[in-house]
A and B are shown apart, each in its own frame.
Chain A
Amino acid sequence: MVHWSAEEKQLITSVWSKVNVEECGAEALARLLIVYPWTQRFFSSFGNLSSPTAILGNPKVRAHGRKVLTSFGEAVKNLDNIKATYSKLSELHCEKLHVDPENFRLLGDILIIVLAAHFASDFTPACQFAWQKLVSVVAHALARRYH
């Protein structure tokens, strides 16, 4: 089980409470598809992904980004039980979606950059530490059921 200090929990939940899940989720997923274009391989049914502008405005990308970040919120609510929280999703990503777990790490890093751009100097080094730890734990939990 992951150990979270009281400070880490506080930094995570306080940042999360100010996040606009819809905007942030859309931004993070769009950036994943833009910065690492090979990740588009999972989204051939999403329509126009031909340019950064197209991706940023694509309604399916936005909707899916929101879905993904909403799910991320479950980790924030269950910091002491992230493994169990993502057990089913892990199986799904392996058995049905066939997503290389490296993509979870890529998205996690992008999410942090989006948070940094949004919160500026409020996203302190201590904040970044707690969040890098969180995205790493989430990525690990999502990869855990792979076989």
Chain B
Amino acid sequence: RMFSAYPSTKTYFPHFDLHHGSEQVRAHGKKVVNALGVAVKSIDNLSQALSELSNLHAYNLRVDPVNFKLLSQCFQVVLAVHLGSDYTAEVHAAFDKFLSAVASVLAEKYR
């Protein structure tokens, strides 16, 4: 969804096949969601739990932080699509806050 809704995000994946149904996209999406799972389990200690990923994004990947917001939006759209009315306002608020906190941690060593 992110690559469809926000084409500029594709610039970080010139080495990927980005066609619909791409195995690379599926695998990478799974990787990202697994990392979010780690974050959920360490929600009170995100900085430490995501320290390696933080380094990776700061020194290696250097993805502009605006893109974290774009992925967050798409992730929430997917949650909304799947959960429907179960994606209540409170759940929405908590998730948006959580994803925003994860994004902050990922960007915290950028400069």
Enumerate chain A interface residues (CB-CB to B < 8 A): 27, 30-31, 34-35, 52, 55-56, 109, 112-114, 116-121, 123, 125-126, 128-129, 132
* Chain B residue at minimum C-beta to C-beta distance from A34: B89
Residues of A within 8 A of B90 (CB): 34, 52
Is A128 a contact partner of B93 (Cβ separation < 8 A)? no
Complex: A53 Cα to B87 Cα, angstroms: 15
Is A128 a contact partner of B84 (Cβ separation < 8 A)? no
Is B6 a contact partner of A132 (Cβ separation < 8 A)? yes
Complex: A113 Cα to B76 Cα, angstroms: 7
CB distance from B14 to the nearest CB of A (A): 20
Is A128 a contact partner of B89 (Cβ separation < 8 A)? no
Given A116-B81, A121-B81, A35-B73 contact (CB < 8 Å): no
Q: Which of B1, B73, B89, B97 contacts A30 (CB 8 A)?
A: B89
* Chain A residue at minimum C-beta to C-beta distance from B88: A52
CB distance from A78 to the nearest CB of B (A): 23
Complex: A137 Cα to B94 Cα, angstroms: 28
B11 at the interface (CB under 8 A from A): no
